[in-house]
Structures are given as structure tokens and as C-alpha cells.
Structure 1
Amino acid sequence: RSVKGLTLIESEEAETCCGFGGMFSVKFPMISTAMAQVKCDALVRSGADIIVSSDPSCLLQIGGYLTREGKAIRTLHLSEVLANDS
């Protein structure tokens, strides 16, 4: 909650699955994309410039969806944020 220069913005869908879930996105691509849309729409509404997660698969799903939708929101792994805070 305390990284110099960053402000924490909680998404209204913070606890919602991004829809990647291992093989789920391969077996059920339409459902996976719909789940990503719900998650990413909330992230866009939050006004955040950067999305931070500790889950690499979530970062791939969210980053990929945002890129396909032309959204200029970066995704970073939590370790990248903490490494730059030293």
C-alpha cells in the first residue's frame, strides 16, 4: 500500500476472475474473453494508468485484452513495482 510515487486504486471487480485460468481460456475462449471484458472494463473505469498483479497469467490475459481494445494501460508484475521502489 505504500510505494513511493504510486497511488493505489482498487478496481470494483478486484475479486473477479480475469478468465484465463490455465486451460480454461483454451477450452472456453468465448467465455474467457467475456470474463476478461468484465474485468478490463472495470479496470478502465478505475482510471488507473498501470495494472499491477502478482499472477503472470492474469497479466497476460488483461494485457492482451487491453492491447486488442486499444487501451493505453500498462500491466506490471508486483515484483517489477517493488524492485523499482528501492
Structure 2
Amino acid sequence: MKTAISIPDELFVSAENTAKKLGIPRSQLFAKALEEFIQNHSKEKITEKLNEVYDKNFFESDNSISNISVSTLRKSLKNDSW
């Protein structure tokens, strides 16, 4: 799909030089740059969501699961010889 964008002259020159160095068309460089930007931005969203899930309050509010896990582990290792 074709689209028109406005960018600063310096950025255009830098993009032009980079595309030449890489041996790819300028439009391919722009497409790749946009793709990478979107992927990186998506990773930030994933990190934010994971941070919400693993928030400190999450663990503090559910200590019973940790206690059960420790208790189960102790029972399973009770007869271990080492």
C-alpha cells in the first residue's frame, strides 16, 4: 500500500543513506523500521501486563498457596536420604 508521510530533511537523508548501505529500497527500510517499532512497543505492553500479574500485592494476598506449596514440598522430602 502506498502512503505519504512528512519527515524532517535530516531524517530523510539518514534513511536514504542507510537504505543505500543496506542495498534495499527506501520504502522497504521505512516498512522494516515501522515493523520493528510496533514489535518493540508491543513488547512493552506485554511487560506492563506481566508486571500487573506479578505485582507485589498479588503475592501478599495469596500466601496460603505459598504455605501449601512449602508444606507439600516438606512432606515429599521427608523420607529423602540426602
Normalising by structure 2, report the TM-score: 0.25
More helix by share: 2
TM norm structure 1 = 0.24
Larger Rg: 2
Bigger strand share: 1
